[in-house]
Structure 1
Amino acid sequence: MCGRYSLFAPPETIEARFDATFDFTFEPRYNAAPSQSLPVVTDADADTIQRMKWGLVPSWADDRSDHGYINARAETLAEKRSFAAAYESRRSSTEQSEAGPDTPTAGRCLVPADGFYEWVSGDGGKQPYRVALPDDALFAMAGLYERWEPPQRQTGLGEFGASDDDGGQDEVIETFTIVTTEPNASVRGLHHRMAVILDPDEEETWLTGDTEAVSDLLDPYDGEMRTYPVSTAVNSPANDDPSIIEEIEV
């Protein structure tokens, strides 16, 4: 699985790598965690790096708190109701530019990162490891996103909007999940799943290709990776600073 990751490259470096522009003020993340709003590039607006909450809530869910899928298995994307609509989305670059960023309710996205974390059980408890490309190079994880809108409330007097005491349950939210696959040789000793990491020349296909084309992209990453142990400080999402990524001795 992928339950934590990092993205701390300078914003201009991220923009250049993905040929897209932030629509918010980006701050480095050394310990990105579920439920946080994090950068993604969607098939609806590939020129923009926007924020969505990590933990996909299907558009058909009655209650946004009932779901929050941080990962989606590559092998069953087309079969699972929670992911099929987003996975089967296909939008050409022309469709993207004409529709604009606010049109789709589900689709595919890129999740920029420069590393992710896995935990290995041992006699002393679970030891976290960071997994990254050489020189902490940026990469894209395959993702899916959905927009969830609250069900309309009907009364004898008509429809009413959100109330102020429902804990935010009437807010429209946009959420994403990270697609996982079998581990490669670098990750196999740490976990039985890993995020789908796309080669740069596969990223446009993931955003715009049909399901037959993108199904070939969902294999383990075959490039060079490095893994190393890090402090258990990463266990808490409250810890988010450069010390998180420093290698330790175990």
Structure 2
Amino acid sequence: MCGRYTLVLEPDDLEERFDARVSEPVAPTYNAAPGQRLPVITNEAPETIQRLEWGLVPSWADDDTGGLINARAETVVEKPSFRAAYERRRCLVPADGFYEWVETDGGKRPYRVAFEDERPFAMAGLWERWEPETTQTGLDAFGGGVEGAGDDGPLETFTVVTTEPNELVGELHHRMAVLLEPEDEHRWLTEDDPRDLLEPYPGDAMRAYPVSTAVNDPSNDDPSLVEPLES
């Protein structure tokens, strides 16, 4: 799965990389976590970087709880929770690294995976718009209140598509996010059925290194989280 990631680009650099304008303030994050409102670029507004909530709530859901943070590439066309979004509501999820956890004798150890040159990339995502029938009390799917939830208006959410891991990530976990080549980002947003893009990204230009267990707590968000630890 992909359950945490980083995006430390300044807004100007984010706009330049994705050729889109930031629609509301975006701060660098060293610990993007489910339930947070994070930058995405949707097929509906490809010229805009907007913030949606991580944890997809299908449009037909009875309520706004239980957001889905990942969608499996192998079944994304078939699963009722994702089928309509795959057909009509795809998005790019900007990032520059992601975390995975490895079981050790001393407990789970977090690793950060990124490109050797720390270049930003887009993860393949899906998004949804959920319309409340009545006033909602707020999304509490991940424990505690969630920023931006509880309004009477529509709730817009996203999920990250995952696939089999490459040889590097496979040493850490049995799944990884689908990373898109820059030239394939437009295809993901616009083509009718770009399933051929849902393959593991080659790991030869990437690195993985251990980081502090402070990343386990999503309330921690500072540059020390991405500093390498001794193996």
TM-score range, shorter chain: over 0.9
Q: CA deviation at 1:242?
A: 0.2
Match of 1:231 in 2: 212
Q: CA deviation at 1:9?
A: 1.4
Match of 1:159 in 2: none
TM normalised by structure 1 equals 0.85
Q: CA deviation at 1:170?
A: 4.5
Match of 2:144 in 1: none
User: How many residues of Structure 1 are paired with residues of Structure 2 in the alignment?
Assistant: 219
C-alpha distance in 2, partners of 1:62/1:130? Answer: 36
Which of 109, 115, 118 is the aligned partner of 2:97? 115
1:198 and 2:180 correspond: yes
Match of 2:63 in 1: 63
- Cα distance per residue 1:160-206 (max 9 Å; x no partner): xx37xx34275421000000000001100000000000000110000
C-alpha distance in 1, partners of 2:154/2:87? Answer: 22
Letter in 1 for 2:30: Y
Match of 1:221 in 2: 201
C-alpha distance in 2, partners of 1:233/1:50? Answer: 28
Match of 2:167 in 1: 185
Q: CA deviation at 1:59?
A: 0.3
Structure 1 residue matching 2:82: 3-state secondary structure = helix
- Cα distance per residue 1:53-82 (max 9 Å; x no partner): 0000000001111x3100000000111000
C-alpha distance in 1, partners of 2:151/2:17? Answer: 36
1:210 and 2:192 correspond: yes
Structure 2 residue matching 1:82: 3-state secondary structure = coil
Structure 1's unaligned 5+ residue stretches are 90-106, 154-161
- Cα distance per residue 1:33-61 (max 9 Å; x no partner): 00000000000111100000000000000
Measured on the aligned residues, the alpha-carbon RMSD in Å equals 1.2
Identity rate, percent: 63
4+ residue segments displaced more than 2 Å: 166-171
Structure 2 residue matching 1:220: 3-state secondary structure = coil
Letter in 2 for 1:219: E
